[in-house]
Amino acid sequence: MSARLLYDLTGLVHWYAYFRHPGGVQRVIEKVASSDVVRQSPAVEFVVRILGSDRFYRIAPELIAHLGSGRSSAISRLRRILAQGLRLATLPEMMSEGRHFHLPYLAAGLTRMEGLIEAWTEGAARESSPALDIVAPPGAQDALFNPGDLWWQKKYAATVAGLKKRTGVRIVQMIHDLYLIERPEWTPAGAVRIFARQLHGIAPSVDCWLTSSQFVRHQVQRYLADRSVPEKPIAVLPMGWDSFDALRDATRDRLSQRMVLERHGLTDRPFVLSVGTIEPRKNVPALLDATDGLRARFGDAMPLLVVAGGYGWKAAEVRARLAAGSRNGTLLWLDNLSDGDLGVLYRNALFTVMPSHGEGWGLAVQESLALGVPCIASSAGATREAGLDLATYFDPASAEGLARAMAAWISDGAALAAARDRIAQALATRRFPSWNDAGSVLLRSALS
C-alpha cells in the first residue's frame, strides 16, 4: 500500500461549527489544505477524528476547496458532518471527552436531525447525506499531520500518542507560535492550560515539526530543550503570498470593489487599515493612542482608522474604546468581515498598520504587501520575516514611534507613493512563496 498523509481537519471542522470566517490559524490550515499540490495529491486524505477514539472519517477535498468559493454551503456541510461524526462516538467516549460546544451537534446527530444544521446555516434543510466514510487505520508507512490546532478535544494528544505506539504512524505537528506558553498573560488561563497540556502530551511522539517562521522554529527548539524532549527535524512551512491573488490587479472588477466600500461607508474616504483579533497581544491600545494624537494634529486631514477583527479575550476596555469610536465616527470597527470584503479593504487602504507585541508570522503584514499596500509593522516576533524589506517597522513598546511612522505617510504623499512603487517593483521582479510551495514542503516533510 502507498504511503498516506492523513491531514487532520478536526480543529477546522470544530471552528466552523460556530464561526463563519477564519482566524489567522484557520486561514493557514485552509490555504495549505486547498493548495493544488495537497488537494490533488493521491497520497493525501483529509480526516476528522471521532470523539473519544482513534478512528477518523474522511472529508471530501472539494469541501475544503469550496471554503474559498461557496463558503456558506461548505460550512453548512461541515456542520452537518460534525453532527454525523458525533453520532459515531459511543456513550462512554462522549462522556469521557465531550465538551459543552459538542452538545448541539451531538443532539442533532443522535436524533438524526442534522439536516437542521444546514437549515440553520443556509435557510433550508437538505436531503439525507451519505454515511461517513471511515478511514482505514494508519500504518508505519503513513503520516498523520496536525496543522496546529490541538485544543478542540480533551484527549487528542494522548490518543495520537497511543496510535503511534500501536501502529508506528509518523506524527507531523505544526506550530504557529508558542505565545500561549511563553506569554500566558495575553491569553485566558483555561486556554493556556489546554494548549500546554496537549503540546506536552504530543511532543515526545512527534517525528517532524513544521513551523510558520524561523522565529517559531527557535521557539520550538527552546521548548524541546527546556523539557529534555529529543529534538526531531523542524522545517519552516512557507506562508503563501497568493491569498488574495484575484485582487492584485487594480483594474479587476472595480464595480464589485466599489460596492464593498459603499457597504461599509468608505467610498471616496481615505482610510488606514489594521487587521487583527482584539486581544492583548495585538497591542490595539497603542494604535488607538497614536491615532488620537494624530487626529488632534491633522484634524480633517486625518484618514479614518478602520479596525478589522473580532473580539477575542481580555480586552474589554479596548472593545469599549472601539465601540465608542465607531459610534462617534472617529474610527470604524468591523468585526465579521468575509475574505472578499477584507481583500477589498486591503486593496483600497492608504496603508495598513500591524502593532502587535508578537506574531508567529504576521499574515496581516504579508497580505497587505502582497496587494501592493504599504504597511507599518511591529518589529516583534516574526513580522520581519513576513514583511521582509518591504514593510516599515517600529518598536511596539513605543506608541510615539508608531505615531511618527504614521504621520510621515499622512503628511507626505510622495513618501507614501514611493513606498507603493517600491513594493510594486518587488512584486513584479521577485519571486515570493505560494501556498503550493507550502504544500510541497508539507508533503516532502511528512512522506520522505
**Which CATH class, in words, describes the domain spanning 5-240+437-447?**
alpha beta
Q: Is the pLDDT of residue 442 over 70?
A: yes
pLDDT value for 177? 97
Rounded-to-integer distance, Cα 264 and Cα 346, Å: 13
Pick the more confident residue, 366 or 96: 366
User: What confidence category does residue 126 fall into, taking pLDDT thresholds of 50, 70 and 90?
Assistant: low
SS3 state of residue 35 = coil
Give the CATH superfamily of 245-429. Glycogen Phosphorylase B; (3.40.50.2000)
A 10 A CB-CB count for 251 gives: 5
Predicted local distance difference test score (pLDDT) of residue 387: 98
Measure the CA dihedral 448/8/139/39, to 10°: -50
Model pLDDT, residue 245: 72
- Determine the average pLDDT of the residues in 107-117: 71
Residues 401-438: tens digit of each pLDDT: 999 999 999 999 999 999 999 999 999 999 999 999 99
- Looking at the chain, the whole-number percentage of residues with pLDDT higher than 90 is 79
Q: What is the pLDDT of residue 180?
A: 95
| Residue spans per domain, the chain | 5-240+437-447, 245-429
Helix (H) or strand (E) holding 199: helix 189-202
Query: Is residue 236 very low, low, confident or very high in pLDDT (cuts 50, 70, 90)?
Result: very high
**Angle (CA) 232 234 238, round 5°:** 160
DSSP string, 408-430: HHHH-HHHHHHHHHHHHHHHHHS
- pLDDT digits over 327-378, tens only? 999 999 999 888 889 999 999 999 999 999 999 999 999 999 999 999 999 9
State the pairing for strand pair 208-211/304-308: unpaired
What pTM was computed for the model?
0.93
Q: Tell me the average pLDDT of the chain.
A: 92
pLDDT at 116 over 50: yes
Q: Are 264 and 273 in contact (CB under 8 A)?
A: no
Rounded CA gap, 212 and 148, in Å? Answer: 10
Q: How does pLDDT run across 134-187, given as a tens digit for each residue?
A: 999 999 999 999 999 999 999 999 999 999 999 999 999 999 999 999 999 999
Write down the pLDDT at residue 257. Answer: 86
Q: Using one digit for the tens of pLDDT, what is the confidence trace for 298-322?
A: 999 999 999 999 999 999 999 999 9
Q: Give residue 250's pLDDT.
A: 47
- Is the pLDDT at 238 greater than 60, yes or no? yes
The Cα–Cα gap between 396 and 43 comes to 43
Taking only the tens place, the pLDDT of each residue in 173-230 is 999 999 999 999 999 999 999 999 999 999 999 999 999 999 999 999 999 999 999 9
